[in-house]
Amino acid sequence: MSKILITGGAGFIGSNLVEHFLGKGYQVVVLDNFATGHRHNIEQHYNNPDFTLIEGDIRNNADCQKAVAGVDYVLHQAALGSVPRSIKDPQTSNEVNVTGFLNMLVAARDAGVKRFIYAASSSTYGDSASLPKVEDVIGKPLSPYAITKYVNELYADIFSKTYGLETIGLRYFNVFGRRQDPNGAYAAVIPLFVKKFMSHESPVINGAGDYSRDFTYVDNVIQMNERAMTTDNPEAINTVYNTAVGDRTTLNQLVEYLKEFLIEYDAEIEKVEIVHGPNRQGDIPHSLASIDKAKQLLGYEPSHVIREGLKEAVRWYWENLK
C-alpha cells in the first residue's frame, strides 16, 4: 500500500484521517508540533508498525523534508485555524498557514510526492453574497485567516503549473465530529455548545442566531480526502472542491438539534436557556456549498447530513467528556 503523510495528524480532522487510512492498510506518517493537536488522539497507534510519528513544525524546513521522505501522498491538515485567533495574532497565523504551507509544497516537490491534498477553507468566499457557494466565484477575504487560506490555493495552483506537482484543495465547511476539542479560547461552536449543555450552562450564540452554516460531519471530510487522493481522473486534479453537505442550518436550529439529542442522556438539559451575544467580527452571515463539482469529478456523496452527524457526535462527546 501507499505511504501517506498527514500533517497535523494529532488534530481533530487529522487524527480521524490517520485512523481511517491505517484501518485500510496504508503506511501513515504524522507530522505534528502538538500546538493544537493532542497525543491522546493518536497514541492508540504508537505500536502499529505502519504508523510513524515525527514531532516537528511545518515552519521548519528540515522537519518538512524529513516527513516527506519516501511518501506517495501528502494530506496537509496542519494549520492555525480560527478567524478570531487570526484577528488577534495575524503574524503567527501567516507564519503557520502561509510559510508553513509553502515549506510543505517545496518539500513535497523535491521529494517527488505524487499528489498534495490540502485543507482549504470556506472562508475563502469572503464577502461574496452569492448562494450556494460555487468554487470559481469568491469575494474579498474578511479575516487574516481567510487571506492565508486563499494564498494556499494560489501557491498550490502555481506549483501545479510550474513544477507539475498534483494538488487538490478541499474547502472545508464547518467540520464537526468526534475528537473535536471543546476546550480553549477558540473552540468550535458545536463541541463548545455540547460541553456547555452537559455542564447545565447556557451556550452563547453570537448575534440573533439567524446566521447559517453548512455543517459538515467529519466522515464526509474523510471521504473527500480519500477520493481526492485516489482519483485517476485527470480533470479532477489541480483544482479545489467544496467539502460540505449542500445544506445549511442556522445557529438557532443547531442548538435545538443539540438539545434534542442531549436530553436523551440527561433530561435536565431541556431546562438550559440560550444566551445571545454580539455578532463576531469577521464572520460570514451565511454559508452554503454547492457540491456539484465534487459529485461530478470525484463521485462524492455525503454519508451524513446534519442531524445524522450531530447524533453521532453527541454520543461520542457524552461517552468521552463525562
- CA quadruple 188, 252, 87, 220: dihedral positive or negative? positive
Q: Are 216 and 244 in contact (CB under 8 A)?
A: yes
How many angstroms separate the CA atoms of 193 and 187, rounded?
10
Residue 3 cell numbers, joined:
505511504
Residue with cell 477575504: 141
The answer to whether residues 71 and 79 touch, using CB atoms and an 8 Å cutoff, is no
CA distance 170 to 242: 6
* Integer Cα distance of 228 and 167 in angstroms: 9
Between CA 232 and CA 212 the distance in angstroms is 35
Pairing of strands 212-213, 249-250: antiparallel
Lookup: cell for 130: 452569492
- Spot the catalytic one: 26, 118, 125, 145: 145
Indicate if 118 belongs to the active site. no
User: CA distances (Å), 221 to each of 13, 98, 215, 226, in order?
Assistant: 8, 22, 11, 9
All three cell numbers of 57: 513544525
**What length is written for the chain?**
322
Which residues are the active-site residues? 145
